[in-house]
Amino acid sequence: MQPATTTRTQAKANRRSVLLNSAATLFAQRGFSGVSIEDLGAAAGVSGPAVYRHFSGKQALLGALLVGVSADLLAGGQAVLASTPDVDASLRALVAFHVDFALTKPDIIRVQDRDLDSLSDADRAQVRSLQRAYVELWVHTLEQLFPGRETAVLRLQAQAVFGLINSTPHSLRIHGRTAGTATARAVLESMAWAGLTSSQRRLGTGAGAAQTSSV
Amino acid sequence: MQPATTTRTQAKANRRSVLLNSAATLFAQRGFSGVSIEDLGAAAGVSGPAVYRHFSGKQALLGALLVGVSADLLAGGQAVLASTPDVDASLRALVAFHVDFALTKPDIIRVQDRDLDSLSDADRAQVRSLQRAYVELWVHTLEQLFPGRETAVLRLQAQAVFGLINSTPHSLRIHGRTAGTATARAVLESMAWAGLTSSQRRLGTGAGAAQTSSV
DNA sequence: ACACTAAGTTAATAACCACTAACTGAGTTT
DNA sequence: AAACTCAGTTAGTGGTTATTAACTTAGTGT
Please report which confidence band the pLDDT of residue B7 belongs to, taking 50, 70 and 90 as the band edges. confident
pLDDT given at position A204: 54
pLDDT tens digits, one per residue of B50-67: 999 999 999 999 999 999
Residue A104: pLDDT over 50:
yes
Instruction: With beta carbons under 8 A apart, name residues in chain A contacting B175.
Output: 155
- The pLDDT of A26-52, averaged and rounded, is 95
The whole-model pTM stands at 0.91
Q: What is the percent of chain A where pLDDT is above 90?
A: 79
CA A117, B127, B91: angle at the middle one, nearest 5? Answer: 95
Residue type, A201: R
Residue A170: pLDDT over 80:
no
pLDDT given at position B180: 84
Q: How far apart are CA A48 and CA A65, in angstroms?
A: 19
Residue A16: pLDDT over 90:
yes
For all residues of chain A together, what is the average pLDDT? 90
Nucleotide nearest B35, CA–C1', reads C17
Is A31 within 8 Å of B117 when comparing Cβ atoms? yes
Is A191 within 8 Å of B160 when comparing Cβ atoms? yes
Is B79 within 8 Å of A166 when comparing Cβ atoms? no
**Which of A210, A188, A151 is closest to B183 using CA atoms?**
A151
Nearest to A191 among B157, B214, B215 (CB): B157
pLDDT tens digits, one per residue of B144-172: 999 999 999 999 999 999 999 999 877 76
Closest-CA residue of B relative to A14 is: B215
| Distances in whole angstroms, Cα of residue A96 to Cα of each of A109, A171, A199, B167 | 16, 19, 21, 19
For all residues of chain B together, what is the average pLDDT? 90
Residue A76: pLDDT over 90:
yes
Q: How far apart are CA B158 and CA B32, in angstroms?
A: 27
**Among A106-110, A156-160, B143-147, B210-214, whose mean pLDDT is lowest?**
B210-214
Is B201 within 8 Å of A214 when comparing Cβ atoms? no
Contact between residue A160 and residue A195 where contact means Cβ atoms under 8 Å apart: yes
pLDDT tens digits, one per residue of B60-98: 999 999 999 999 999 999 999 999 999 999 999 999 999
| Distances in whole angstroms, Cα of residue B90 to Cα of each of B102, B120, B190 | 18, 34, 15
pLDDT given at position A210: 42
Task: Provide the 8-state DSSP code for A53.
Answer: G
Within residues 48-67 of protein chain A, the ones with CB less than 7 A from nucleic strand C are 48-50, 53-54
Nucleotide nearest B41, CA–C1', reads D8
Nucleotide nearest B1, CA–C1', reads C29
Closest-CA residue of B relative to A94 is: B208
